Amino acid sequence: MSAAPLPSESPLYCDVSLPVPLEQAFTYRLPETLRHRVSVGCRVLVPFGSRQLTGVVLATHNQPPPGSTRDALRLLDEEPALDEALLKLGRWIANYYCAPLGETLRAMTPLAADVRRGRMYTLTTSGRDAARQLLLGASSGEDPAVEILRLLEARALSLSYLSKKIKGAASVLRSLDKKGFVVAEDVAAARDPLRASAARLRVEFRTRTEEKLPKVERELLAYLELHPGQHNVAVLEEAVAKASTAARSLARRELVLLSLEAVTSSFAPARAPHFLNPHQQEAFQAIQEGLTARQFRPFLLEGVTGSGKTEIYLNAIDAALAMERGALLLVPEIGLTPAVAGQFHHRFGDKVAILHSAFQDAERAQEWRRIRSGEALVVVATRSGVFAPVRNLGLIIVDEEHDQSYKQQDTPRYHGRDVAVVRARDAGAVIVMGSATPSLETRFNAERGKYTRLELPERIEKRPMPRVQLIDTRQEFLETRKSSTFSRALVEAVTERLENGEQSMLLLNRRGFSSFMTCRACGERLECANCSVTLTYHRRDRRMLCHYCNYAEAVPDRCPKCASDHIQFLGVGSERVEQELHIAFPRARVARLDRDTVNGKHDYETILTGFRERHFDILVGTQMIAKGHDIPNVTLVGIVNADVGLGLPDFRAAERTFQLLTQAAGRAGRGETPGIVLIQTGFPDHYAVQCAAAQDYGRFYAKEIEFRKLMHYPPFGALASVVVRSSNEEEGITRSATLGRLLSPAPEGVKVMGPAPAAVARVKTEYRFQILLKTSSRVRLNEVLGEIRRFAAAEKWSPTMLAIDVDPVTLL
């Protein structure tokens, strides 16, 4: 990676893009100390109003801007955080998704929007002078101001550190700030590994000391000196008591080195390389040819569930590495488990870096540095990993390319897969988008010849696709006169599995116990105080919970409106399925996997591993259980209710349902014993259900694409959603109406729908009014959205009022 060449004379000014919802870059003067070091793509800390912000340098120059200029405060990167290619990609995203460049660039750097922040104090030049003079004159360290200046002389320090050392530090710092002696910087905290868990920490001896140390620290240091090399801190705990605490405080004194261990997983089933079967071989060859050509080549790898797509990815990465080119594998949020990471470590060793949004900042920053330095040439990452600074990028793989988690739901609302395509194009790289159920967009692009379609039509070793049976719940009700969660056929199938020692997975894509509470006397439904949705009953937590804003209430025993005690809980959720399983199969060992049982990556993996190792007979869960898992002993998949997503007012409802059912069904019979799938539904004739039952993507695509064409929905033309949000309903109505008038008559070539209250009209106390724009011309769409943004800016709307979503994946 090359830093942008420095102008021959060191520049006096730099233009900085800041994470604020404004379009322009801001010019700052470069103090002498920074002039030689700043280059395009570096992050700098600058004053902005009364705050300090981190921004990215877009240019350096010698043109004094009109008016007064403030000084840049600090340089955060010695080498550019974003190279030219990534800056270009950032500009593309900002333009295409109508997002401010500064916010886009922030989302692209490793310590992005969600960073914990801390206040750091540094001396200004005048502060430094003052410190010298004061220190010359001051005899004792009693004056806290002198003491603070003295401490800051040595290095920048955090507010929390200073507060611990000096009484009343905060107010002293404020007055020093007023005098211009210090600057407060809001910077990313925890860039060091000190906060990581012991299991992920390695410690190494660095130097001896004459200082007097507490006993544990002395012992640990002695131990490390006697045992050179790196030690896992958690393991050390067994040899040296309190090793973890001691290691951290020794690290603070810089007597030992701490580093983070890469994510590996001992329980990851090591996958020996396979000989590719003929279909795999054919697909791999096409990819390899693309790599050899060193040109942009986009592929859709369409392979049924269990057809061995991962093996092709691994081979393709090998091929890229053999050409000394880097590879980037993107996986859905939930797909990046330690087991998956482990597989890649097995195959590629230290060449792999893992980037996961659930990692702590420090871990992410460290992995990011390994990538930038070229130490890690293979990157496995979730969505934002599409910005990883992979050296000499030759290959990008987007696994499960249809997955919704690739779309970011906040500014910049980019689609990771689509950004990956643009990045591959600019880099002259190969991109492989893999799925058993490709998105309509991607398959359409393949039909049009924009992408090359590679097909894996059968499962590995010609294993049969699972046999699928539809169970009509209306018929079941007529015959049994009972509305039960499990049909007779499903009960029988589970029983059989339990007898044979085989495992079952039951999917219900709705968490909680009951989806709502209603009063039989007056019809009242208990709604969230902040959102226009019903509260979900969570039995274990004994509360009514909002799935949009987490608002919670106690479970009422009477109707809050009419005080009747005839209240009932309706709509079965996954928690209830688990409970009913305990009742129906008291001896079965049941586990549940949904957002209520999973609190981070570890729970998720623990539950899945437990299930893989057969500590459980049945796994119940939401869509989390449908994704990618390869558990050979699962021979039954039951869909408790296929209709959950079908009725949603969203043009992708059918596509979602088809994908979910097909992916879930694909978990059955992946081992040597064939599997069956039972789908309970009230709409057995719906084409999404029918095609999923037949595992027939081709038929689904043909049907769905007709509907999209008829309705001018993507992939035909482009779609954008514009939402006006306000906590004041009146204001929301007026402002969205103003936008409606601005767009009336509809701009040429654009179809405007709305404004109308959004499908969920109120979320987190904000009223939402939606306008949909459809057009066959992307250029036109971009122009119109630009107009809307300029209008809102001119009218001084608060930036959060307007939410623009280009290519939305959901209209809810």
**Pairing mode of beta strands 634-639, 503-507:** parallel
Residue pair 574/512 in contact (Cβ under 8 Å)? The answer is: yes
Question: At closest approach, how far in Å is the CB of 675 from ligand ADP?
Answer: 13
Q: Is 202:232 a contact under the CB 8 Å cutoff?
A: yes
CB of 666 to ligand ADP, least distance (A): 7
Spatial CB neighbours of 246, under 8 Å, sequence gap ≥ 6: 214, 216, 217, 219, 220, 240
Give least dist CB 617 to ligand ADP, A.
Answer: 22
677 in helix, strand or coil? Answer: strand
Interface residue with ligand ADP, options 104, 244, 288, 305 (CB under 6 A): 305
User: Which residues are registered as beta bridge partners of 787?
Assistant: none
548 binds, among ligand ADP, Zn ion, none (CB under 5 to 8 A by kind): Zn ion
Least separation in angstroms between CB 524 and Zn ion: 4
Which region among 151-159, 267-275, 344-352, 736-744 touches ligand ADP (by CB under 6 A)? 267-275
Compute CA distances 110 → 239, 372, 404, whole Å: 36, 11, 22
514 lines the binding site for ligand ADP (CB under 6 A) = no
277: contact with ligand ADP by CB under 6 A: yes
CB of 613 to ligand ADP, least distance (A): 16
With CB under 5 to 8 Å by kind, the binding choice for 562 among Zn ion, ligand ADP, none is Zn ion
Does residue 39 interact with ligand ADP by CB under 6 A? no
**Minimum Å distance from CB 527 to Zn ion?**
8
- Is 400 a binder of ligand ADP (CB under 6 A)? no
347 binds ligand ADP per the rule CB under 6 A: no
Contact 115, 361 (CB under 8 A): yes
Rounded Cα gap, residues 351 and 374, in angstroms: 9
Residue 515, burial from CB neighbour count under 10 angstroms (0-12, 13-18, 19+): buried
Provide CB contacts within 8 A for 121, sequence distance 6+. 152, 156, 157, 158, 159, 162, 173, 182, 183, 184, 185
Q: Does 278 bind ligand ADP (CB under 6 A)?
A: no
Q: Are 488 and 677 in contact (CB under 8 A)?
A: no
| Residue from the set 19, 100, 102, 303 that interacts with ligand ADP by CB under 6 A | 303
Beta bridge mates, 51: 48
Residue 184's nearest CA partner among 51, 344, 345 is: 51
386 or 559, CB closer to Zn ion? 559
Q: Which residue has the tokens 């003052």?
A: 130
At its nearest, how many Å lie between Zn ion and the CB of residue 521?
Answer: 5
- Measured from the CB atom, the residue of 65 and 698 that comes closer to ligand ADP is 698
Compute the least distance from the CB of residue 537 to Zn ion, in Å: 14
The answer to whether residue 280 forms part of the interface with ligand ADP (CB under 6 A) is yes
Selected range binding ligand ADP among 63-71, 268-276, 473-481, 702-710, rule: CB under 6 A:
268-276
Q: Which residues pair with 316 in a beta bridge?
A: none
What is the C-alpha to C-alpha distance for residues 225 and 219, in angstroms, rounded to an integer? 10
Closer to ligand ADP by Cβ: residue 276 or 584: 276
Q: Which of 12, 222, 241, 276 touches ligand ADP (CB under 6 A)?
A: 276
Kindly state whether residue 630 participates in binding ligand ADP, applying the rule CB under 6 A. yes
Pick 410 or 672: Cβ nearer ligand ADP: 672
In 9-49, where do the E strands start and end?
13-17, 26-29, 43-48
Closer residue to Zn ion in complex, CB, 353/803: 803
Number of other CB atoms surrounding residue 402 within 10 Å? 25
Q: Which of 9, 228, 275, 449 binds ligand ADP (CB under 6 A)?
A: 275
Answer yes or no whether residue 460 interacts with ligand ADP by CB under 6 A.
Answer: yes
Of 19, 298, 306, 394, the one binding ligand ADP by CB under 6 A: 306
Task: Find, among 720, 728, 731, the residue nearest to 770 by Cα.
Answer: 720
SS3 129: helix
Torsion of CA 72, 76, 79, 83, to 10 degrees: -80
Shortest distance (Å) from residue 271 CB to ligand ADP: 5
| 770 makes contact with ligand ADP (CB under 6 A) | no
H or E element in which residue 753 lies: strand 750-763
Is residue 662 part of the contact set for ligand ADP (CB under 6 A)? no
8 A C-beta contact, residue 258 and residue 201: yes
User: DSSP label at 527?
Assistant: B
Smallest distance, Å, CB 431 to ligand ADP?
Answer: 17
DSSP string, 475-509: HHHHHHSS--SS-HHHHHHHHHHHHHT-EEEEE-S
- Determine, following the binding rule CB under 6 A, whether residue 437 of this chain makes contact with ligand ADP: no
* H or E, element range at 741: helix 729-742
Of these, 39, 307, 442, 635, which contacts ligand ADP (CB under 6 A)?
Answer: 307
- Asked if 182 and 122 touch (Cβ cutoff 8 Å), the reply is yes
Here's the x/- map for Zn ion, 538-577, by CB under 5 A: it reads as --------x-xx-x-------x-xx-x-------------
CB of residue 531 to Zn ion, shortest distance in Å? 3
Helix (H) or strand (E) holding 670: none
Kindly give, in sequence order, each residue whose CB lies less than 8 Å from that of residue 708, ignoring residues fewer than 6 positions away: 440, 651, 714, 715, 716
Rounded least distance, CB 665 to ligand ADP, Å: 12
Interface map 507-536 toward Zn ion (x if CB under 5 A): ------------x-xx-x---x-xx-----
Stretch that binds ligand ADP, among 59-67, 309-317, 447-455, 801-809 (CB under 6 A): 309-317
Among 119, 271, 294, 764, which residue interacts with ligand ADP (rule: CB under 6 A)? 271
Q: How far is the CB of 329 from Zn ion (least distance, A)?
A: 36
Stretch of 272-280, 289-297, 613-621, 710-718 contacting ligand ADP, by CB under 6 A:
272-280
Picked from Zn ion, ligand ADP, none, the partner binding residue 257 (CB below 5 to 8 A depending on kind) is: none
Q: Which of 185, 217, 302, 311 binds ligand ADP (CB under 6 A)?
A: 311
Q: Which residues bind Zn ion (CB under 5 A)?
A: 519, 521-522, 524, 528, 530-531, 546, 548-549, 551, 559, 561-562, 564
- Which residues here bind ligand ADP, judged by CB under 6 A? 271, 274-277, 280, 303, 305-311, 460, 630
